[in-house]
Structure 1
C-alpha cells in the first residue's frame, strides 16, 4: 500500500524543535483543567489503531466470535442526527467477511452512519456511486468497507490489493509499468471536488484510460461543483446518487465571530484560551509565514503548540500529525493543508485566526471539529476587511455565524456538559 501525502487529496485505486513544527510552551493550562487531559496525556477518545487479521485466529463456525474482540472504551458522548438519523441497519446486515467485521468493531465503530447505510450495499453490488455527505459523517467508512470486502487476498495483483496515491504519483508509476492497473475493479475518489478541479482532472482521465472497461468508480465529497457533474456524465455508468446535504454545516458545530483589528488578534486568542474549555484546538492561518509566527507567539504566551504547513519536510509533518493526534499537544496552528480528510475526534474547537476567502474552505475548516456527530465550536476572528466575506459565506452556506457572547455555554462544545436528557429536551422543542 502506498500512502498519500497529506498535502494533496488522495485517490484510491484497486482497492520541540521549531524546524519540525513542535513548539512547546510552559505547562500553563488554557482554561482546560476540569475533567480533561493535560499536555502529554492522551485525549478523551482513544485513537485505536487496528489491523484486520488475515484469518479468524482459530475461531470456528458457531463460536461467539464477538467475545474475542478487543474493543476500545465505549464513546458515551451525545451524537447529533447527522450520524444518528439511520434506518437501524447493523454492520452484520451486509454479509461482510468475519475478519472485516472484527476490524470494524475493534475500531469502535458500532453502527453504520446514514452515508454508510446508503453507500455500502450499493458499492458491494458493483454500481458506480456519486455520494455527497457532510465532513465528519463517515464517508471514509462508506467506501473503505466495501473496498476491503471485495479484496481477494489469493490474487497477487492490484484489484483491490489497495493503492492509495495522489494522481500525479500513481500516473507516473502506471506509465513506468510499476503499477499495473488493468485488472483494477474499483477506483475511489475521496474529496472528488478537488480531484476533479482543473488542477487534477486531466490526470484523473489519463489514469482511467488504463483501467479495465468494467471498472467501478465511486465519488465522495461534501461539495459537488459543475466540474464533478461533467465528469460524471462522461465516465460514470448510471451512477447511484446519494445526497445527504439538506444543510451544509454540521449540526453539532456552533459558529461565532469576534470583530477585532489585526493587532488585537493575538490578545483575543489569549483570552479565548483562558476562558474556553479546550480539549484540542486547530487554529488556521492563511499563509505558512503567519503559521510559524503565530505558533511562536502562542508558546511565548505559555501554551503548548505545534504547527504544520506544506513547506515543511514530509517526515516532520507526519511526526506533528502523529503526536497531535495522540494528544501530546493541545493546540495546532496550520494552513489549509489540514482542512481535508483529517479526523481527530478530540478536537472540539476550531479557530480561524485568519478568515478564509471561500465558503468551501470555511466549510472544510470548521468540519475539523464536531466529528461524527459530536459537539464543536468554530470561532472566527474578523477584521474590517473580512466583513463582506463573512456575509457572503453565511449566505452561500445558508448558516448563521453569531457575534461571540461574553460567556460561551460549555454544553455547546464540551461533551460532559451536554447530557442525554438535555438532548431529548432540545429535540422535543425542535
Structure 2
C-alpha cells in the first residue's frame, strides 16, 4: 500500500477490526494481478472492504482528480460505503451522491474533485451530464450489488456512466448471488471470478426457520400476536408493496406496537429518521419493502418476518441475510395464509409456531429520538451534541444513546424518562453559538 498514508494494520485499527477475512484477502491478491474481478460473497461478509482496499492500493495521492467511481443500487448503501471509507482514516476525500440529497450540496463537494465518488446510477449520470464530475482520471469502477442495480432497472444510466469513463483500467463487480449475467456494456475482459457463496451453509446453521399459520388471508392479527410472543427483540417485517408496509405499520401502531415503516417513496429525512430509530432502540420493529433487504448496516437483528412470501429465492436469501450475521444467531419466520404453501426453495428444517391464545403487549422501548436541525455542514459533531445535552440538558452520559450526524440535521437517542425535561431545558439554548430547532423526531 505504498500509495496511501496508512498501512492495512492502521486501517483495521481505525475500523476496530482484528483481521481481514479470507474473502477480503483473496480480493486484494486477485486485484493486484487482474484488472477485472467479480466478487461473489454473502450479504454481511465484508465485501465493502473487499473492494475499498484494492482501490486504495492503486490511488495516486499526487493526482488531485477523481480516480475511482463506485455505483450502488441504493442511497443507504452509498452512505454506508462513505462512512466505512472515512473511518479508514486515509486522509483521502470521498463524496456521496444520491437522489433525495441536495444536488447543490453535492455540486459544492465536487468542486474540488474527491479521490473516490460513490453514488446511485441516476444521480451519478446526472452529475456527469452536467459536467460536475471530472471523468478523465477515473481508472477504477466498482459496481457494488450490481445484480440489484440491474433488477431495479438502472441499465440505461449505468451504460451511460460506463460509456463516459474513457480511461477505465479496472472493473470490480460484487454480488451476493450468482444468478445474473454481466451486461455487455460493462466491457469486462478476461475477468476472474471469486466465489465465496459456498459458505452459506454456515449461516444456515445459525439461522432457525419457522412458520406460523394465519386463520385467514389477512395476516395482520396473526402478525400482531406473533410480535407479542416474540417480545421486544429487534425484528424486521418484510412486505411486498409500499401500501402494505404503511397499512401494516398503522395496524400495529393502533394495537400498541411501537414501530417504524420504511420504503422507497419516503423523503430522505423520513428514511433516515426511521432507520435511526430502529438502530438506536427507539423502536424494535421495522416494517419495510425489500429495499431494506440489502445494504443496510443494522447490527443485532434477531428476527426476520416474511409477512408476504418473497417472489424469488434470491429475495428470500437477501431478506434473511439481515440476521444471523457474523457469528450471531437469528430466526426467520414465514406467515402462511390457508391458501399458501412453503416455496420449494425453503428446504431447511422448519418448525411450526403455535401462538398463545392471549396476546400481551411487549415491553415498550426505553429510548426516544431527538431531532436536532444542525449537522456536519453546520460544523456540529457527536462530541458537540453530547456536551450540549450534558451541560444544557443536564443529561448524564448513560442517558444519551446512539448519535447520528447527517449533513444538515442530527438524531440522538435519549432515555425516554429524561427526554421531556431535557427538551424543556435546551429550548432556548444555542449549540455551537447557533439557535436550532430541537424536538422529538417525527
Work out whether the TM-score is over 0.5: yes
Q: 1:135 aligns with which of 33, 36, 43?
A: 43
Q: Does 1:120 align with 2:35?
A: no
Whether the aligned pair in 2 keeps the contact of 1:323 and 1:329 (CA below 8 Å) is: yes
Q: Partners in 2 of 1:385 and 1:314 — Cα distance?
A: 38
Q: How many residue pairs align between the two structures?
A: 307
SS at 2:24's partner residue?
helix
The equivalent of 2:211 in structure 1 is: 257
Q: Quickly say closer, same or farther: Cα 1:96–1:269, change in 2 above 3 A.
A: farther
The alignment status of 1:402 with 2:350, answered yes or no, reads: yes
**Structural mapping, 1:302-341, within 5 Å:** 302-341=256-295
- Counterparts in 2 of 1:138-153, with a 5 A limit? 138-153=46-61
After TM superposition, give the deviation of residue 357 of structure 1 in Å: 1.5
Residues 5-48 of structure 1, C-alpha deviations (whole Å, 9 max, x = no match)? xxxxxxxxxxxxxxxxxxxxxxxxxxxxxxxxxxxxxxxxxxxx
Deviation at 1:158, TM superposition (A): 0.8
Partner of 1:273 in structure 2? Answer: 227
Deviations, residues 259-317 of structure 1 (Å, cap 9, x unaligned): 22346633333333333365311111122222122212222332221111122112211
Relative contact order (C-alpha < 8 Å, sep 6+): which is higher?
Answer: 1
Q: What is the DSSP-based 3-state SS (H/G/I as helix, E as strand, rest coil) of the residue aligned with 1:227?
A: coil
Alignment correspondent of 1:24: none
Q: For 1:377, which of 314, 320, 331 is the aligned residue?
A: 331
Structure 1 portions without partners, runs of 5+: 1-91, 408-430
- 1:96, CA displacement in angstroms? 7.4
Paired with 2:209 and 2:245, the residues of 1 have a C-alpha distance of: 22
CA gap of 1:386–1:107, structure 2 versus 1, over 3 A, is farther
Instruction: Give the whole-Å Cα distance in 2 for the aligned partners of 1:293 and 1:99.
Output: 50
Is residue 365 from structure 1 mapped to residue 322 from structure 2 by the alignment? Answer: no
Structure 2 residue 286 is the aligned partner of structure 1 residue 286: no
Instruction: List 4+ stretches of structure 1 deviating above 6 A.
Output: none
- Structure number with the higher strand fraction is 2
* One of 188, 193, 202 as aligned partner of 1:236: 188
Contact 1:188-1:218 within 8 A present in 2 as well: yes
TM-score by length of 1: 0.65
- The TM-score normalised by the length of structure 2 is 0.63
Post-superposition Cα deviations, 1:339-363, rounded to whole Å, max 9, x if no partner, equal 1111211211111111112112111
Equivalent pair of 1:119/1:142 in contact (CA under 8 Å) = yes
SS at match of 1:218: strand
> What is the deviation of 1:223?
1.3
Q: Does the aligned pair in 2 maintain the 1:137–1:373 contact within 8 Å?
A: no
Secondary structure at 1:117 match in 2: helix
Gaps of 5+ in 2: 69-114, 356-442
Aligned to 2:305: 351
Question: Cα 1:235–1:386, aligned 2, differ >3 Å: closer, same or farther?
Answer: farther
Cα distance in 1, alignment partners of residues 25 and 255 from structure 2: 46
Deviation at 1:168, TM superposition (A): 2.1
- CA distance in 2: counterparts of 1:225 and 1:103, whole angstroms: 33
Asked if 1 retains the 8 angstrom alpha-carbon contact of 2:3 and 2:56, the reply is no
Partner of 1:106: 14
Q: Which residue of 2 aligns with 1:393?
A: 345
Q: Secondary structure at the match of 1:209?
A: helix
Does 2:123 match 1:169? yes
Distance in 2 (alpha carbons) for counterparts of 1:118 and 1:213: 26
Pair 1:135–1:197, CA change in 2 (3 A): same
358-367 or 139-148, larger mean C-alpha shift: 139-148
SS in structure 2 at match of 1:371: coil
